[in-house]
Amino acid sequence: MKLKHFERLRFLLVALVFIAIGITLFVKYPLQSDISKALPEDKTTGILSLYNQFDSSKKLLVLVEGFTPQSLEKANTIKEKLSQLSQVESVYFGTSDIDPKVRDYLAKNWYYLSDFNATVLSRDEVKHRLMALSAKMLEGGAYTPLDTTDPLGLFENPSFMQGAQKDGMMIVPNKGYCVIASIRPSVGDMEGSRKLYDEVNTALAPYKEGIVVFSPNFYSVENSAYIQSDVEKITALTIVMLLGVYFFLLRNKVMLVFSLSTLFLSGLMAILAVKLIFVDVSMLVVAFGAGIATIAEDYLFMLFLNDDYKKHRFNWAVFWGFVATEVGLGSLTFIDFPLISQLALFAFISLALSYLIFAFIFPRLAFYHEDTPQKSDLFFEKLRNFRRIPPSVFTVLSLLLVALSMSHLTFDSNFRHLDYQNRPLLKAEKLFEETLGEDRIPILIEAKNREELLKRAEILKEHAPSSYSLANMALSGAKSTQRLAQIRSYDFASLRQNLEETSVEAGFRNGIFKNAYLPLQELSSYTLDTGALRVLGSEILTTPKGVMSLAYIKTDELKALASYPFLIPIDAKEILSHSATNALKEFTTIFAIGFSLLLIIIIAVTRRRALYALNFLFFPMSIILVMFAISGSFNLMHLFALFLMMVYGIDYGIYLSRGEISNSMRAVIYSCLTTFAGFGILILSDVPAVHSIGEVTIVGIIAIMMLFFQKGEQCRV
Amino acid sequence: MRVWLVLIFLVGSLWAKGEFTEKRYIYALDKTTIFKGSILITDDSTIVRYTSPEKKVLTQTGKTLIIEDVEAKTSQTIDLSKRIDMSLYFSFMRSINKKDFTGLKTYFEVNKDGNTYHLSPKSDVKRAIAKMEITMQNDEMKRMVIYFTNEDIIEIETL
């Protein structure tokens, strides 16, 4: 008796020490609440990450509804307010907001950036052009101020990429004025984004009526906060539910404390191990983890209710069930999808620790099942009498359901559907799409160095004339040298003389063109200003491989660029879909390997009774597939949950296949209740990734409970 | 140095639904021309009809401006999204038409002296316009004078 108390005290002390260390480390290295960190990173999503580093993706937009004078005044006030914020670099609203860097750059390099018509003009041609000009200036219609520096229009304005405008102000067509701010934090900079979010909300609080504010950075801030609160809510609810269920089922307060300590310790150690292996661990792992960790309680139910502790025997059925579960979870850790691999690893470690403690340490703590008959025993005995459906019926039914549902399965490849659906922000984003994107899509230009990048942008311009890229606002060294040589070889002195001589004949004042084309005589060499280019939307980004720049092209010009591998179109939806489809392929392969291993284990362990046990694999799977077919689509988290349900189902299958006794039934039914409390509760979450697991779990549990009506091949009472 | 932002003024269009005369002095040619016409501003478009000395119709709808020569039966289409200067012009036109100076304040310092508004340009507008004067009568536009930096002067009066 004394030994029992000593063992229990020692267990509690050791557990408390580890829990204390674990909590300290957990607080010191917090988890990520940004779901994007939990998504797979491959070559395609890497491109998206690069895109997010460009300043042109760092935008904040404010729509001031309406085109009234009050709206305009409000937009101007908002522009002033935003320009004072520390996380805002510059604000653009009207044409008067041109950055001084840009003005200087354009002024210095005007003759390089404009299109130059180098046709040599004779004296008569000059006179003819001037006469046409004077006639145009005197006629009605648009008044054009005379440009005395280039009266013959030899240099044509460079083209800028423009958003929708009204009266020189940026607008969202048919909605209102639009203030555009360039912000400092990138989408991935969580701290900066949060600071921006707070600053903007405080600054614009007095004007919030009739405005819509959007920045891609707000998704991570708002969704993270929501996910964190959702996870906390779900985790708290799970714990309360489980405490209730455990207390109701075990009715042993002391053992309840010990089993909860075990689960908590296992979960904590598992999350720390996951954090050690994966640097960025999603907060969602905790939400699922709380549920997964509690599944380990099943082992306690099975060992305790089967009197294994009392009789000091090793339960091989529970052991093989555990092995099958671990093999399944272990195979999932290899999938290149952080959220799934993290969860699988978490489950693998926490279940292993819990099993080891329940199977090898708990027997020393001397918790014994009461032998006194209870009312509930009668219920389980009666339930046993309903087990009359032959296993083959469930097997055939499973095969039929799988065949029926297969043709109706659609994979939802949009990763964004897994994230919290922030409807106000999604609505705001759509609103601004028209202003910013119109029918153009971004394209990445890759090169080893700046000169090559500029040349490649020039190639892009050649094949997609209406594109906007670095080539619109900058010249390669080769092209600028060529332009300089072209200008120097043009006889501007002679042209000016012709202008002076013929201007009076054409009706102009004498000497009005004395300064025409004068700056070209001493034209300095072209100077690239990356700062000005950045403001103009043609940023040059240095990467470990070289340099990159963004261009914007019309969708119909995309085909002409297919043969240039250094031009990479960025379609976020397409990229994420491609990535999800890759993850699905990988998942399918791992699923097939895991499934085969599970089959081998079940057949090896249960042999003659294999069909009975296998139904715990087939039947939940078939019912869940039917659910996918009815709901229209399934995602990767659905698949993950399906795999989990199969793995847990096998646990029950192996355990029950050895022959049904009322306590085995009781243990499995109790396990189903705890699975529902730990996992099914996730259906209450508003985060689709979490909700999906809850859905599958509930359907899976219903399928497993239906299998209680399966007739066992052998009956041991 | 080349002025990047060249303003183009479609003069004579400063009055909604009214007739006007426009006296345009071009310094480079040392000539003055007088134009007559009318203007109509609706929610979606602006139509300016010149009746003398030539017949021309200018129709602005959204991002497009069509200049039509009635006698020669020719027309020219200008994409206003590529012409910041023209966009500015329409901004001024609508502001004056609505007697609302909020839009103009983005580009001008506005001071009122009796019935006359004095507009001093700021930012890039300064490169093209020296000053503007707008005189009101019975809360309606009576006269406007634009002094350009190149010494051109445009004077418009309602009839």
With beta carbons under 8 A apart, name residues in chain A contacting B37. 140
Q: Which domain holds residue A69?
A: 58-94+168-214
A457 min Cα distance to partner chain B (Å)? 22
Q: How close B66 gets to chain A, by Cα (Å)? A: 11
Token pair listed for A452: 């090559």
**A473 inside 8 A of chain B by CB:** no
Q: Are residues A629 and A676 in the same domain?
A: yes
Instruction: Residue B141: name the closest of B7, B22, B9, B10 by CA.
Output: B22
Those of residues 26-65 in B touching chain A at CB distance below 8 A are 26-31, 33, 35, 37, 50, 53-54, 56, 58
Highest mean pLDDT among A229-238, A553-562, B146-155: B146-155
Nearest CA distance, B30 vs chain A (angstrom): 7
Domain match, A183 and A265 both: no
CA–CA min distance B136, chain A (Å)? 19
Task: HSE, CB side, 13 Å, CA atoms: give it for residue A275.
Answer: 21
Instruction: Judge: A95–B154 Cβ closer than 8 Å, yes or no.
Output: no
Best mutation target, B10, B20, B26, to test chain A (most A CBs within 10 A): B26
What are the tens digits of pLDDT across the range B109-124? 888 888 898 999 886 7
Does B76 contact A at CB distance below 8 Å?
A: no
Structural tokens at position A648: 């847990």
- Residue corresponding to tokens 């052991």: A319
Please write the tens of the pLDDT for every residue from A330-340.
888 888 778 78
Look at A167 and B125 and tell me if their CB atoms are within 8 Å. no
Contact A329, A647 (CB under 8 A): yes
Assess if residue A277 is contained within a domain: yes
Cβ pair B31:A138 closer than 8 A: yes
Q: b/e per residue, B30-39, with b = 16+ CB within 10 A?
A: eeeeebbbbb
Contact A442, A51 (CB under 8 A): yes
Residue with tokens 């991935």: A188
- A582 shares its domain with A684: yes
Residues A298 and A245 grouped into a single domain: yes
A363 and A282 within one domain: yes
Q: In CATH, what class is B19-158?
A: mainly beta
pLDDT top residue among A697 and A667: A697
In a domain, A143, yes or no: no
Average of pLDDT values for A435-450? 77
pLDDT above 80: residue A53: no
Residue A443: inside a domain: no
The residue-averaged pLDDT of A269-281 equals: 84
Contact criterion met (CB < 8 Å) for B28 and A512: yes
Q: Which of A178, A193, A214 is the last residue of a domain?
A: A214
Rounded to an integer, the average pLDDT of A214-240 is 82
Q: Tell me whether B125 touches chain A (CB under 8 Å).
A: yes
Cβ of A138 and B26 within 8 Å? yes
Question: Does a structural domain hold residue A425?
Answer: no
Residue of A707, A448, A142, A96 whose CA lies nearest to B46: A142
Closest Cα in chain A, distance from residue B98 (Å):
10
Asked whether residue A353 falls in the same domain as residue A266, the answer is yes
For A261-281, what is the mean pLDDT? 85
The separation between CA A61 and the C-alpha centre of its own chain, rounded to angstroms, equals 21
Task: Tell me how many domains chain A contains.
Answer: 2
What's the sign of the alpha-carbon dihedral A581, A586, A588, A591? negative
- pTM comes to 0.64
Asked whether residue A263 is assigned to any structural domain, the reply reads: yes
For residue A523, give the chain B residue with the closest CA.
B1
Interface of A with B in 312-341 (CB under 8 A): none
Residues A340 and A408 in one domain: yes
Smallest CA–CA distance from B89 into chain A, residue: A167
Instruction: Find the residue in B nearest to A138 (Cα).
Output: B33
Task: Please indicate if any CB of chain B lies within 8 Å of the CB of A174.
Answer: no
Answer whether residue A410 is part of any domain.
Answer: yes
Which pairs count as long-range contacts for B110-116, CB under 8 Å and 24+ apart, including other chains?
B115/B142
Please check whether residues A205 and A349 belong to one and the same domain. no
Residues A205 and A173 in one domain: yes
Q: What are the structural domain ranges in chain B?
A: 19-158
Residues A289 and A385 in one domain: yes
Q: Let me know if residue A511 belongs to a domain.
A: no
User: In this structure, is residue A714 part of a structural domain?
Assistant: no
Q: What value does the mean pLDDT take over residues A207-211?
A: 88
Q: What angle do CA B85, B90, B91 make, to 5 degrees?
A: 95
| Closest by CA position to A466, among listed A596, A548, A560, A394 | A560
